[in-house]
């Protein structure tokens, strides 16, 4: 039974339940462009990287296709500064001809600013990327919550975040784009706070972008399992770090199983952040994930 939640406006609404997908789990392998963050051609390319090792998003799409991915996640940070619809349509065409769907994109934002110019800028930024995702045919955008602002309590920050996400979700639904809130530290460093926000945003176009490396709690696997029923996208990291423990290799089989156990149907994107060279390290991880996901 759905329980009532009080939004910042004071109006009671029904809490969001787990997505409750029908049928068996269906996991589709994707790769996040952020995995190759050191190698993208940008207006300020990374120092110390040979020019022949730099790539653009078209080449990244080729890489995903050539390594057997079923999706390609195009992080917003690596699009050109003079981005227009013509470029987005070229990206969409290129991905289609390579036979690989664009699984989503990801933006950087802060949704804990109080009402005012800063919050308006963040909302406008996310809405702009909703429009861009729709042009590309990308069904999902990863968003952040943000940190607690000075002078605000955690409860106040969460209330502001809920209100801001709700406004963006209303717009996203008009474009057919899902927004996935990532467990990315700040006010959603703990699973209870993340779930409070997700359950309070009453939108069929909203859920969790479940990042397997971002809970640094006593039992990250258990907390990921709690949140997985709300996932609209999953990003897998090859490392995990429990509270008070050093970072260590993630149990990829366990991570795949916990999203399978909740009946997840959608993309599981490798987001590689370990220190090894991704050109060397990513292909074997993709092979391992593919094997685990096709069991």
CATH number at residue 264: 3.20.20.150
Q: Are strands 26-32 and 12-14 parallel, antiparallel or unpaired?
A: unpaired
Q: How many domains, in total, are found in the chain?
A: 1
- pLDDT tens track for 222-238: 999 999 999 999 999 99
* Domain hosting residue 235, numbered range: 53-293
Burial class (CB in 10 A: 0-12, 13-18, 19+), 244: exposed
pLDDT of residue 47: 75
Q: Which residue has the tokens 């209303």?
A: 170
Q: Which of 103, 138, 137, 136 is nearest to 31 (CA)?
A: 103
Residue 4 placed within a domain = no
On the question of pLDDT at 8 being above 50, the answer is no
Residue 275 placed within a domain = yes
- pLDDT tens track for 50-98: 888 899 999 999 999 999 999 999 999 999 999 999 999 999 999 999 9
56 vs 40: CA distance, rounded Å: 6
245 vs 128: CA distance, rounded Å: 40
Residue 36 placed within a domain = no
**pLDDT band at 12, cuts 50/70/90?**
very low
What is the percent of the chain where pLDDT is above 90? 88
- pLDDT tens track for 200-227: 999 999 999 999 999 999 999 999 999 9
Helix (H) or strand (E) holding 93: helix 85-97
Mean pLDDT of 168-187: 98
36 vs 46: CA distance, rounded Å: 11
- pLDDT tens track for 237-294: 999 999 999 999 999 999 999 999 999 999 999 999 999 999 999 999 999 999 999 9
Residue 18 placed within a domain = no
Instruction: Identify the sign of the CA torsion 64, 261, 165, 242.
Output: negative
Average pLDDT, the chain: 93
Instruction: Say what the pTM is.
Output: 0.93
**pLDDT band at 15, cuts 50/70/90?**
low
Residue 39 placed within a domain = no
Q: Which of 170, 157, 171 is nearest to 111 (CA)?
A: 157
Residue 19 placed within a domain = no
Q: Which of 71, 80, 65 is nearest to 104 (CA)?
A: 71
Kindly write down the DSSP assignment for every residue of 102-163, as one continuous string: EEEEE------PPTTHHHHHHHHHHHHHHHHHHHHT--EEEE---PPPTT--HHHHHHHHHH
Bridge partners (DSSP) listed for residue 26: 265
Backbone Cα Rg of the chain: 19
Tokens of 24: 């068996």
Residue 20 placed within a domain = no
For residues 285 and 272, is the Cβ–Cβ distance under 8 A?
A: yes
**Top-confidence residue, 159 or 16:** 159
Residue 109 placed within a domain = yes
Mean pLDDT of 30-38: 97
pLDDT of residue 48: 79
């Amino acid at each position: 039974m759905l329980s009532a939640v009080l939004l910042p406006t004071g109006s009671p609404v029904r809490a969001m339940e787990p997505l409750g997908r029908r049928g068996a789990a269906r996991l589709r392998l994707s790769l996040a462009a952020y995995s190759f963050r050191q190698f993208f051609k940008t207006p300020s390319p990374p120092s110390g990287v040979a020019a022949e090792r730099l790539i653009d998003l078209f080449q990244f799409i080729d890489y995903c296709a050539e390594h057997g991915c079923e999706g390609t996640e195009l992080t917003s940070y690596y699009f050109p500064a003079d981005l227009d619809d013509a470029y987005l349509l070229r990206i969409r065409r290129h991905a289609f001809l390579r036979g690989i769907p664009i699984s989503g994109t990801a933006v950087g934002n802060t949704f804990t600013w109080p009402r005012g110019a800063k919050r308006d800028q963040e909302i406008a930024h996310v809405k702009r990327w909703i429009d861009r995702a729709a042009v590309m045919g990308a069904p999902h955008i990863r968003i952040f919550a943000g940190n607690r602002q000075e002078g605000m309590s955690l409860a106040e920050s969460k209330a502001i975040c809920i209100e801001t996400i709700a406004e963006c979700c209303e717009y996203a639904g008009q474009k057919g784009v899902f927004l996935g809130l990532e467990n990315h530290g700040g006010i959603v460093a703990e699973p209870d706070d993340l779930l409070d926000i997700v359950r309070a945003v009453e939108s069929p176009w909203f859920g969790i972008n479940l990042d397997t490396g971002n809970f640094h709690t006593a039992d990250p696997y258990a907390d990921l399992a709690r949140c997985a029923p709300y996932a609209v996208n999953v990003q897998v990291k090859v490392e995990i770090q429990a509270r008070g423990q050093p970072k260590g290799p993630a149990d990829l089989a366990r991570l795949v199983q916990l999203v399978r156990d909740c009946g997840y149907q959608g993309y599981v994107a490798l987001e590689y952040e370990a220190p090894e060279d991704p050109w060397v390290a990513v292909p074997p991880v993709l092979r391992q994930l593919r094997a685990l996901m096709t069991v």
